[in-house]
Structure 1
Amino acid sequence: MLDAIQNFFDRMVARPDAANDAELTLELATAALMCEIIRADGKVDDEERMALTRMLQRRFSLDEQAVDELVRLALQEAEESVDHYQFVRLINDRYDYQRKTALVQRMWQLAYADGELDPQEEARVRKLAELLHVEHHDFINAKLRAWQVLGLD
Protein backbone atom coordinates (compact mmCIF):
# COMPACT_ATOMS: atom_id res chain seq x y z
CA MET A 1 0.00 0.00 0.00
CA LEU A 2 2.85 2.42 0.67
CA ASP A 3 3.78 1.81 -2.98
CA ALA A 4 0.32 3.06 -3.97
CA ILE A 5 0.84 6.22 -1.94
CA GLN A 6 4.33 6.68 -3.42
CA ASN A 7 2.88 6.26 -6.92
CA PHE A 8 0.29 8.88 -6.05
CA PHE A 9 3.01 11.37 -5.15
CA ASP A 10 5.02 10.47 -8.22
CA ARG A 11 2.01 11.44 -10.33
CA MET A 12 1.17 14.62 -8.37
CA VAL A 13 4.58 16.23 -7.92
CA ALA A 14 7.88 16.22 -9.72
CA ARG A 15 10.05 13.27 -8.73
CA PRO A 16 12.11 14.38 -5.71
CA ASP A 17 15.81 13.65 -5.60
CA ALA A 18 17.01 10.77 -3.44
CA ALA A 19 17.61 13.03 -0.44
CA ASN A 20 13.95 14.08 -0.42
CA ASP A 21 12.59 10.53 -0.81
CA ALA A 22 13.16 9.80 2.88
CA GLU A 23 11.28 12.97 3.90
CA LEU A 24 8.40 12.14 1.59
CA THR A 25 8.14 8.63 3.01
CA LEU A 26 8.31 10.10 6.50
CA GLU A 27 5.40 12.41 5.78
CA LEU A 28 3.41 9.51 4.36
CA ALA A 29 4.00 7.62 7.59
CA THR A 30 2.81 10.70 9.47
CA ALA A 31 -0.36 10.84 7.36
CA ALA A 32 -1.07 7.17 8.09
CA LEU A 33 -0.70 7.73 11.86
CA MET A 34 -3.02 10.71 11.64
CA CYS A 35 -5.55 8.47 9.89
CA GLU A 36 -5.32 6.11 12.85
CA ILE A 37 -6.72 8.86 15.05
CA ILE A 38 -9.75 9.66 12.91
CA ARG A 39 -10.69 6.00 12.56
CA ALA A 40 -10.01 5.05 16.21
CA ASP A 41 -13.69 5.19 17.20
CA GLY A 42 -14.77 2.97 14.31
CA LYS A 43 -16.12 5.77 12.15
CA VAL A 44 -14.66 8.62 10.14
CA ASP A 45 -16.76 11.76 10.66
CA ASP A 46 -16.91 14.41 7.96
CA GLU A 47 -15.42 16.97 10.37
CA GLU A 48 -12.45 14.73 11.13
CA ARG A 49 -11.86 13.94 7.48
CA MET A 50 -12.06 17.64 6.59
CA ALA A 51 -9.58 18.52 9.36
CA LEU A 52 -7.18 15.85 8.12
CA THR A 53 -7.60 17.05 4.55
CA ARG A 54 -6.78 20.65 5.56
CA MET A 55 -3.69 19.54 7.51
CA LEU A 56 -2.37 17.49 4.61
CA GLN A 57 -3.26 20.13 2.05
CA ARG A 58 -1.22 22.73 3.96
CA ARG A 59 1.72 20.34 4.37
CA PHE A 60 1.95 19.11 0.78
CA SER A 61 0.50 22.14 -1.09
CA LEU A 62 -1.74 19.90 -3.20
CA ASP A 63 -5.12 20.66 -4.73
CA GLU A 64 -8.31 19.32 -3.17
CA GLN A 65 -8.65 16.35 -5.53
CA ALA A 66 -5.07 15.25 -4.90
CA VAL A 67 -5.46 15.52 -1.12
CA ASP A 68 -8.74 13.58 -1.26
CA GLU A 69 -6.91 10.76 -3.04
CA LEU A 70 -4.07 10.88 -0.49
CA VAL A 71 -6.55 10.69 2.39
CA ARG A 72 -8.27 7.73 0.78
CA LEU A 73 -4.94 5.93 0.31
CA ALA A 74 -3.69 6.79 3.81
CA LEU A 75 -6.95 5.56 5.39
CA GLN A 76 -6.66 2.35 3.42
CA GLU A 77 -3.02 1.94 4.52
CA ALA A 78 -3.96 2.52 8.16
CA GLU A 79 -6.80 0.00 7.92
CA GLU A 80 -4.66 -2.69 6.27
CA SER A 81 -1.69 -2.22 8.58
CA VAL A 82 -1.29 -4.92 11.22
CA ASP A 83 0.42 -2.53 13.64
CA HIS A 84 1.89 0.97 13.79
CA TYR A 85 5.49 -0.15 14.04
CA GLN A 86 6.51 0.67 10.47
CA PHE A 87 5.16 4.21 10.78
CA VAL A 88 6.32 4.88 14.35
CA ARG A 89 9.82 3.56 13.70
CA LEU A 90 10.31 5.85 10.74
CA ILE A 91 9.07 8.88 12.67
CA ASN A 92 11.20 8.04 15.71
CA ASP A 93 14.24 7.67 13.48
CA ARG A 94 13.74 10.96 11.64
CA TYR A 95 11.72 13.40 13.75
CA ASP A 96 13.31 15.38 16.53
CA TYR A 97 11.42 15.66 19.81
CA GLN A 98 9.81 18.98 18.92
CA ARG A 99 8.37 17.59 15.67
CA LYS A 100 7.02 14.56 17.53
CA THR A 101 5.22 16.75 20.07
CA ALA A 102 3.82 18.87 17.21
CA LEU A 103 2.54 15.66 15.61
CA VAL A 104 0.86 14.69 18.89
CA GLN A 105 -0.79 18.12 18.97
CA ARG A 106 -2.15 17.56 15.44
CA MET A 107 -3.44 14.16 16.58
CA TRP A 108 -5.32 15.87 19.41
CA GLN A 109 -6.76 18.39 16.94
CA LEU A 110 -8.03 15.52 14.79
CA ALA A 111 -9.47 13.73 17.81
CA TYR A 112 -11.44 16.88 18.73
CA ALA A 113 -12.38 17.80 15.14
CA ASP A 114 -15.94 16.47 15.49
CA GLY A 115 -16.47 18.42 18.71
CA GLU A 116 -16.09 15.49 21.09
CA LEU A 117 -13.34 13.25 22.33
CA ASP A 118 -14.16 9.57 22.06
CA PRO A 119 -12.35 7.42 24.68
CA GLN A 120 -10.93 5.26 21.88
CA GLU A 121 -9.49 8.33 20.16
CA GLU A 122 -7.91 9.47 23.42
CA ALA A 123 -6.46 6.00 23.99
CA ARG A 124 -5.03 5.95 20.46
CA VAL A 125 -3.40 9.37 20.86
CA ARG A 126 -1.98 8.29 24.22
CA LYS A 127 -0.60 5.02 22.82
CA LEU A 128 0.98 6.69 19.79
CA ALA A 129 2.49 9.42 21.98
CA GLU A 130 4.05 6.72 24.17
CA LEU A 131 5.41 4.91 21.12
CA LEU A 132 6.86 8.22 19.90
CA HIS A 133 8.54 8.66 23.32
CA VAL A 134 6.71 11.90 24.04
CA GLU A 135 6.88 12.62 27.76
CA HIS A 136 3.62 12.84 29.68
CA HIS A 137 3.86 16.55 30.46
CA ASP A 138 4.44 17.31 26.75
CA PHE A 139 1.54 14.99 25.85
CA ILE A 140 -0.72 17.06 28.14
CA ASN A 141 0.67 20.37 26.86
CA ALA A 142 -0.01 19.23 23.29
CA LYS A 143 -3.60 18.49 24.28
CA LEU A 144 -3.97 21.94 25.85
CA ARG A 145 -2.47 23.64 22.79
CA ALA A 146 -4.89 21.70 20.57
CA TRP A 147 -7.79 22.99 22.69
CA GLN A 148 -6.50 26.56 22.26
CA VAL A 149 -6.08 26.18 18.50
CA LEU A 150 -9.61 24.83 18.21
CA GLY A 151 -11.02 27.43 20.63
CA LEU A 152 -12.13 24.80 23.17
CA ASP A 153 -10.61 26.45 26.24
Structure 2
Amino acid sequence: MIAKLKQFIQARTHAVSPEDKAHQLSLAAATLLLEVVYADETLNESEVALLPDMLKNTLHISIEEAQDLIKEATLIRGNATSLFEFTAEINQQFTLEEKQQLLLAMWRLAYADGELSRYEDQIIRRCADLLYLKHSELIQMRNIAMEQR
Protein backbone atom coordinates (compact mmCIF):
# COMPACT_ATOMS: atom_id res chain seq x y z
CA MET A 1 0.00 0.00 0.00
CA ILE A 2 2.79 2.44 0.89
CA ALA A 3 4.62 1.58 -2.33
CA LYS A 4 1.51 2.38 -4.38
CA LEU A 5 1.10 5.69 -2.53
CA LYS A 6 4.73 6.59 -3.31
CA GLN A 7 4.17 5.76 -6.99
CA PHE A 8 1.05 7.93 -7.06
CA ILE A 9 2.83 10.88 -5.45
CA GLN A 10 5.81 10.57 -7.79
CA ALA A 11 3.53 10.37 -10.82
CA ARG A 12 1.67 13.51 -9.71
CA THR A 13 4.86 15.51 -9.11
CA HIS A 14 6.30 14.54 -12.51
CA ALA A 15 3.11 15.23 -14.46
CA VAL A 16 3.62 17.97 -17.02
CA SER A 17 0.80 20.00 -18.48
CA PRO A 18 0.44 20.23 -22.27
CA GLU A 19 1.28 23.95 -22.09
CA ASP A 20 4.50 23.22 -20.20
CA LYS A 21 5.39 20.49 -22.67
CA ALA A 22 4.82 22.85 -25.62
CA HIS A 23 6.91 25.51 -23.92
CA GLN A 24 9.76 23.04 -23.32
CA LEU A 25 9.64 22.07 -26.99
CA SER A 26 9.75 25.70 -28.12
CA LEU A 27 12.57 26.35 -25.70
CA ALA A 28 14.55 23.43 -27.11
CA ALA A 29 14.15 24.76 -30.66
CA ALA A 30 15.08 28.29 -29.58
CA THR A 31 18.19 27.01 -27.87
CA LEU A 32 19.33 25.17 -31.01
CA LEU A 33 18.85 28.34 -33.06
CA LEU A 34 20.84 30.27 -30.47
CA GLU A 35 23.64 27.75 -30.81
CA VAL A 36 23.96 28.73 -34.45
CA VAL A 37 23.97 32.44 -33.59
CA TYR A 38 26.76 31.99 -31.03
CA ALA A 39 28.68 29.29 -32.94
CA ASP A 40 31.20 31.62 -34.58
CA GLU A 41 31.70 33.52 -31.30
CA THR A 42 30.73 36.73 -33.08
CA LEU A 43 27.34 38.12 -32.23
CA ASN A 44 26.30 39.59 -35.56
CA GLU A 45 23.53 42.19 -35.69
CA SER A 46 21.87 40.58 -38.71
CA GLU A 47 21.66 37.20 -36.95
CA VAL A 48 20.28 38.75 -33.76
CA ALA A 49 17.68 40.69 -35.76
CA LEU A 50 16.62 37.61 -37.73
CA LEU A 51 16.31 35.24 -34.74
CA PRO A 52 12.85 36.39 -33.49
CA ASP A 53 11.43 36.08 -37.01
CA MET A 54 12.90 32.60 -37.39
CA LEU A 55 11.28 31.53 -34.11
CA LYS A 56 7.98 33.16 -35.07
CA ASN A 57 7.86 31.38 -38.43
CA THR A 58 9.23 28.04 -37.28
CA LEU A 59 7.19 27.70 -34.08
CA HIS A 60 4.14 29.73 -35.13
CA ILE A 61 4.35 32.09 -32.15
CA SER A 62 4.19 35.85 -31.73
CA ILE A 63 7.26 38.09 -31.81
CA GLU A 64 6.77 38.83 -28.10
CA GLU A 65 6.75 35.11 -27.29
CA ALA A 66 9.84 34.67 -29.46
CA GLN A 67 11.70 37.40 -27.59
CA ASP A 68 10.76 35.84 -24.25
CA LEU A 69 11.97 32.46 -25.53
CA ILE A 70 15.28 33.97 -26.60
CA LYS A 71 15.86 35.39 -23.13
CA GLU A 72 15.04 32.08 -21.48
CA ALA A 73 17.03 30.04 -24.01
CA THR A 74 20.07 32.25 -23.47
CA LEU A 75 20.08 31.30 -19.79
CA ILE A 76 19.54 27.61 -20.48
CA ARG A 77 22.14 27.51 -23.24
CA GLY A 78 24.89 28.43 -20.79
CA ASN A 79 24.08 25.45 -18.55
CA ALA A 80 23.62 22.88 -21.32
CA THR A 81 26.01 19.97 -21.52
CA SER A 82 25.14 18.81 -25.04
CA LEU A 83 22.82 19.34 -27.98
CA PHE A 84 21.21 15.95 -27.32
CA GLU A 85 19.10 17.23 -24.43
CA PHE A 86 17.39 19.61 -26.87
CA THR A 87 17.20 17.39 -29.95
CA ALA A 88 15.75 14.47 -27.97
CA GLU A 89 12.71 16.58 -27.05
CA ILE A 90 12.31 17.75 -30.65
CA ASN A 91 12.60 14.18 -31.99
CA GLN A 92 9.71 13.09 -29.79
CA GLN A 93 7.36 15.89 -30.81
CA PHE A 94 8.28 17.38 -34.21
CA THR A 95 7.18 15.95 -37.52
CA LEU A 96 9.71 15.50 -40.31
CA GLU A 97 8.51 18.72 -41.92
CA GLU A 98 8.89 20.66 -38.65
CA LYS A 99 12.43 19.34 -38.24
CA GLN A 100 13.23 20.43 -41.78
CA GLN A 101 11.82 23.89 -41.10
CA LEU A 102 13.96 24.15 -37.97
CA LEU A 103 17.01 23.13 -39.97
CA LEU A 104 16.16 25.69 -42.66
CA ALA A 105 15.92 28.38 -39.96
CA MET A 106 19.35 27.33 -38.70
CA TRP A 107 20.85 27.67 -42.18
CA ARG A 108 19.18 31.04 -42.70
CA LEU A 109 20.63 32.30 -39.42
CA ALA A 110 24.07 31.00 -40.37
CA TYR A 111 23.99 32.84 -43.69
CA ALA A 112 22.43 36.03 -42.27
CA ASP A 113 25.80 37.77 -41.97
CA GLY A 114 26.77 36.85 -45.53
CA GLU A 115 29.19 34.07 -44.68
CA LEU A 116 29.11 30.62 -43.18
CA SER A 117 31.70 29.88 -40.52
CA ARG A 118 32.94 26.34 -40.09
CA TYR A 119 31.56 26.34 -36.53
CA GLU A 120 28.06 27.25 -37.72
CA ASP A 121 28.31 24.50 -40.32
CA GLN A 122 29.42 21.97 -37.67
CA ILE A 123 26.59 22.85 -35.28
CA ILE A 124 23.98 22.55 -38.02
CA ARG A 125 25.36 19.24 -39.27
CA ARG A 126 25.50 17.85 -35.73
CA CYS A 127 21.90 18.92 -35.11
CA ALA A 128 20.76 17.37 -38.38
CA ASP A 129 22.37 14.09 -37.35
CA LEU A 130 20.78 14.23 -33.90
CA LEU A 131 17.39 15.01 -35.50
CA TYR A 132 17.78 11.94 -37.74
CA LEU A 133 17.63 13.97 -40.92
CA LYS A 134 19.21 12.60 -44.07
CA HIS A 135 22.24 14.25 -45.61
CA SER A 136 20.15 15.05 -48.69
CA GLU A 137 17.66 16.94 -46.48
CA LEU A 138 20.53 18.86 -44.89
CA ILE A 139 21.82 19.91 -48.31
CA GLN A 140 18.33 20.70 -49.61
CA MET A 141 17.62 23.03 -46.67
CA ARG A 142 21.04 24.67 -47.08
CA ASN A 143 20.38 25.29 -50.78
CA ILE A 144 16.98 26.82 -50.02
CA ALA A 145 18.56 29.10 -47.42
CA MET A 146 21.26 30.18 -49.88
CA GLU A 147 18.65 31.01 -52.52
CA GLN A 148 16.65 33.11 -50.04
CA ARG A 149 19.60 35.36 -49.19
TM range (shorter): 0.7 to 0.9
Matched, 1:83 2:58: no
* Aligned residue in 1 for 2:118: 119
Secondary structure of 1:74's counterpart equals helix
Corresponding residue pairs, total: 132
CA RMSD of aligned residues (A): 1.8
C-alpha deviations, 1:21-43, integer Å up to 9, x for none?
32222111100111011111112
Deviation per residue, 1:30-83 (Å, 9 max, x gap) = 0011101111111221111111022234532143xx644432321232122111
The one-letter code sitting in structure 1 at the alignment partner of 2:134 is E
TM-score, reference length from structure 1: 0.78
Within 1, Cα distance between the matches of 2:54 and 2:83?
A: 20
Taking structure 2 as the reference length, what is the TM-score of the superposition?
0.80
Task: State whether residues 53 and 63 of structure 2, in contact with CA within 8 Å, keep that contact through their aligned partners in structure 1.
Answer: no
Q: Describe the shift of the 1:70–1:27 C-alpha distance in structure 2 as closer, same or farther (beyond 3 A).
A: closer
Matches within 5 A, 1:1-150: 18-58=17-57, 59-63=60-64, 67-150=66-149
> For the residues of structure 2 that align with 1:43 and 1:26, how far apart are their CA atoms?
26
CA deviations 1:103-141 (Å, max 9, x no partner) are 111100010111110111011101110110100001000
CA distance in 2, matches of 1:98, 1:68: 24
Query: How far apart in 2 are the matches of 1:57 and 1:99?
Result: 13
